[in-house]
Structure 1
């Protein structure tokens, strides 16, 4: 599903160049649940931005579902993001003046799907995350956990190949974090490929594989025995 080979990325900082990714080799098969870990400055956010087509590597190759992701203009990058990827953010990134249903339906609007089908699909995914009864509520009427569930429903609505979750439990308390991870594990159990960037060891061990980055290199990449979130909930 994801193939990355010898990926390098540098940023110009005044007169200096900061080499952030120093030759990343990384493959993800369909249906995997992978946690990417690393301290601040390890390169994990840069890697996630490249995977999400929000940034581009200087050298190396990136294939997503056998399609080369290289030299894309913004229009094509946006189309590929909408087709292939669902994003879950630490800060939820919901539109404050739109209710839960409209937030979930938003990616479908950009896909050109008609209003009734958008509404039906959005309601289906709100049901999937247990929030159908909250469809007409605005984000400021929802708890942190509910907001993240709406964000997960939105990420699923466009039926992407891959979910990219950037610190999805970072703004949540422990109990709510485990409830969100239980939902993410359930989505993965249905076959969805999911990558999670996290700095939390307990959250990482709820994945099936942990990749550790340090100073722009993968220093460890291994299968782990998955801890089920519902054993804590």
Structure 2
């Protein structure tokens, strides 16, 4: 599903160049659930931005679902993002003046789906995350966990190939975090490919493989015995 080969990325910092990614190589198969870990400055955010087509590498290759992601203009990049990727953010990134239902329906609007079908699909995914009864509520009327569930429903609405979750539990307490991870694990069990960026070791072990970054290099890439978020919730 994802193939990264010899990826390099640098940024100009005044007269100096900061080499952030230093020859990254890794693949993610369809249906995998992978976490990317690393301390601040390790390169994980830069890698996620490249995976999300929000930035482009200086050299190397990135292939997503057999399509080379290279030299895309913003219109094509936006089309590919909407077609292939669902994003889940630490800060939820919901539109404050729109209801939960309208937030979930937003990616479908950009896909040109007619309103009646948008509403039907958005309700389906709100129900999937357990928030059908909250469809008319604004984000300000929701808890942090509920906001993240709305964000997950929005990410799923366009039926993306890959879910990219950037610190999805970073703004949540432990119990709420495990509830969100239980939901994400269930989505993965249905066959969705998921990449989770996290600095939390317990969250990383709720995926099936951990990729560790340090100073722009992968220092470890290991399959792990997945911890059940549901089991942790009921300890």
Fold in common (TM above 0.5): yes
Equivalent position of 1:13 in the other structure: 13
Equivalent position of 1:43 in the other structure: 43
CA distance in 1, matches of 2:207, 2:99: 31
Which string of whole-angstrom CA distances, capped at 9 and with x for unpartnered residues, describes residues 129-177 of structure 1? Answer: 0000000000000000000000000000000000000000000000000
CA distance in 2, matches of 1:142, 1:230: 22
Equivalent position of 2:26 in the other structure: 26
CA distance in 1, matches of 2:8, 2:57: 6
CA distance in 1, matches of 2:231, 2:114: 41
| Structure 1 residue runs of 4 or more that deviate by more than 4 Å after TM superposition | none
Equivalent position of 1:56 in the other structure: 56
What pairs with 1:28-107 in structure 2 (closer than 5 Å)?
28-107=28-107
Secondary structure of the 1:232 match is helix
Which string of whole-angstrom CA distances, capped at 9 and with x for unpartnered residues, describes residues 80-131 of structure 1? Answer: 0000000000000000000000000000000000000000000000000000
What pairs with 1:177-216 in structure 2 (closer than 5 Å)?
177-216=177-216
Q: How far apart are residue 22 of structure 1 and its match?
A: 0.2
CA distance in 1, matches of 2:4, 2:205: 23
TM-score with structure 2 length normalisation? Answer: 0.99
Matching of residue 135 in structure 1 with residue 135 in structure 2: yes
Name stretches of at least 5 consecutive residues in structure 1 with no aligned partner: none
Equivalent position of 1:109 in the other structure: 109
Which string of whole-angstrom CA distances, capped at 9 and with x for unpartnered residues, describes residues 2-43 of structure 1? Answer: 000000000000000000000000100000000000000000
Equivalent position of 1:146 in the other structure: 146
Secondary structure of the 2:6 match is strand
> How many residues align structurally?
233
Equivalent position of 1:231 in the other structure: 231
Name stretches of at least 5 consecutive residues in structure 2 with no aligned partner: none
TM-score with structure 1 length normalisation? Answer: 1.00
Equivalent position of 1:118 in the other structure: 118
| CA-atom RMSD in angstroms | 0.2
Q: How far apart are residue 232 of structure 1 and its match?
A: 1.4
Equivalent position of 1:159 in the other structure: 159
Equivalent position of 2:2 in the other structure: 2
CA distance in 2, matches of 1:161, 1:11: 29
CA distance in 2, matches of 1:76, 1:24: 24
Which string of whole-angstrom CA distances, capped at 9 and with x for unpartnered residues, describes residues 168-200 of structure 1? Answer: 000000000000000000000000000000000
